[in-house]
Chain A
Amino acid sequence: AAGVIQSPRHLIKEKRETATLKCYPIPRHDTVYWYQQGPGQDPQFLISFYEKMQSDKGSIPDRFSAQQFSDYHSELNMSSLELGDSALYFCASSFLQGPSSSPLHFGNGTRLTVT
């Protein structure tokens, strides 16, 4: 079965640069979530979109922005990168703003390293 696809798998950027992470949800899933997992930490919710509109916002820094496009894929744009942004970034998707309607399914993540 098709899963959540994230690209790239690995990304190395320098401080103050920008980065764009992409997420392709499972077909027919209408909700996308972004999570950040630092080393040895639990995944922290950043932001979510339902039917291309922002539905919830977590601990996303103002330097980051995201959107969901008409084909339901989502992009997380990160500017003025800092060393502390180095983390695993997971995208997840669900149907009808899960999890009680459908559980969140996660991609394999993008590992961002800021040097």
Chain B
Amino acid sequence: DQQVKQNSPSLSVQEGRISILNCDYTNSMFDYFLWYKKYPAEGPTFLISISSIKDKNEDGRFTVFLNKSAKHLSLHIVPSQPGDSAVYFCAASDGGSQGNLIFGKGTKLSVKP
């Protein structure tokens, strides 16, 4: 049973517009959430994270929103750039897991010039 779900396998956005990637989770024990970006033939690269005590974290063009009651988080990229084209993984952990992450299946973002 998938505890972290990314229901959109792909997303296409025009350069300069906003990209919104969504993630849902089922385990209420998750208390830390991360977004990773992955290019082909490379490992996942850490992008941004959020603790369950917050509902928003912003870093430059990237903002992550957390809605605990809905068990939903989203990553906003504004403005989107062609170099943002990659697979984005949502990941979660709980305090007892000592750091191991549960990943979603990823969303492939394509930003068109």
Contact = CB atoms under 8 A, between A and B. Distances in A.
Interface in A74-115: 90, 92, 94, 97-100, 103-109
Interface in B13-66: 31-32, 34, 36, 41-46, 49, 51
Contacts of B43: 4, 6, 90, 92, 106-109
A72 interface: no
Given A108-B42, A109-B43, A55 B89 contact: no
14 contacts: A31-B99, A33-B101, A43-B103, A45-B102, A90-B44, A97-B98, A99-B99, A100-B32, A103-B34, A104-B99, A105-B46, A106-B44, A108-B41, A109-B42
A60 to B, nearest CB: 11
A70 interface: no
Contacts of B69: none
A46 B104 CA distance: 16
A48 interface: yes
B93 interface: yes
A52 to B, nearest CB: 15
A56 B100 contact: yes
A56 B95 CA distance: 12
Given A33-B101, A42-B104, A45-B101, 14 more contacts: A4-B43, A33-B99, A43-B89, A45-B100, A50-B98, A56-B98, A56-B100, A94-B99, A99-B34, A100-B95, A104-B101, A106-B36, A106-B46, A107-B43
Nearest to A43: B103
B100 A33 contact: yes
